[in-house]
Amino acid sequence: MFSTNMLFAKYLIFSSLVLGARLSLYQTQRFLFVEISATAKIPCSSEEKLEGGGISVYWYRRRADEGLTCIKKCLNDQNVSKFACKAETHSLALEIYNVQPDDSGDYYCAVKSSSHLIFNNGSTLIVGDSYTTSSWVLLLVPSPLGLNSPGMADLACIVHGVSNPVQISWNISGNQQERGLVRSLKAKDGSLMLISHISILMDTWTSAKILTCEVKFNSSGKSVKKSATFLELHPSWCVPQLLHLGVAVFLVGLMVCLNVAWICCCSNSGKQHMTVHSRGTIMI
């Protein structure tokens, strides 16, 4: 009897692992710009049957300086007021009616497998225009004085003083790259500072290729681009030139640190953050 129960328990564990391994969710629309008061439609698809397949689908939202929140369980669509699930055989879209700026954020579709939720990489919804009069973009690159060791080069694109998320993309000499890891800091007045970080091979950075950070604030306005290339130091450089370069790098770093410290002090320290990784699981 004991061995039978053990075998049955192993079967349940194996079945849940197989379901998690087979079922994959896809959110191909990484960024979605929508005008205020319009209807936003965020798609989610799978190779497995979602409609009528006995699979529970959930939608989660994460806004700046907030944790992950379940906003819709796609079990039925009775009494729909703000959110609705529109299902087809292999896809299920979240519709958000009369969107407002505070609807901006990251949206994730998830399915329940045993006691876990399986997520995908999510989609970022941007409602209206995130640009304000205090918005600016700064690109930080490695100092040429500290590139003697091989490995990776870290770069950061800082977007200051925006009202909502923005689309930040990277490219190297015209070749599109994956979006970097983004961290958001919220000030007391509600404005955001977004920091997008990317790591590239040192050989790529030192090969004189142009690296560009592009920031898009809305669907109609022009984007802001900041570009940089590796600047090699030569023995012919004199000491004053090196001194000026060092002072400039120090001042930029100091300015960024002061801004980050100010925002951190003004933020609500009691709020919790949760990071969702591609195809990760969260215990419920």
Q: Pick 278 or 55 by higher pLDDT.
A: 55
Q: What share of the chain is helix, strand, coil (3-state, %, to 5)?
A: 20, 35, 40
Give the pLDDT confidence of 27-74 residue by residue, as tens digits.
Answer: 778 899 999 999 999 988 877 666 555 567 889 999 887 889 999 988
- pTM (global) more than 0.85: no
Tokens of 249: 């790098």
Give the pLDDT confidence of 137-159 residue by residue, as tens digits.
Answer: 999 998 766 555 568 888 999 99
Question: What is the reported pLDDT for 53?
Answer: 53
Look at domain 136-232+255-266 and name its CATH class.
Answer: mainly beta
Residue 220 backbone dihedrals phi, psi, to 5 degrees: -110, -30
Average pLDDT value for residue range 218-223 = 87
Residue 56 backbone dihedrals phi, psi, to 5 degrees: -85, 120
Average pLDDT value for residue range 77-93 = 77
Residues of the chain with CATH 2.60.40.10: 25-128, 136-232+255-266
Question: What is the reported pLDDT for 50?
Answer: 60
Give the pLDDT confidence of 153-177 residue by residue, as tens digits.
Answer: 889 999 999 999 999 999 988 887 7
What CATH code would you report for 25-128?
2.60.40.10
Question: What is the reported pLDDT for 168?
Answer: 94
What's the whole-number average pLDDT of the chain? 75
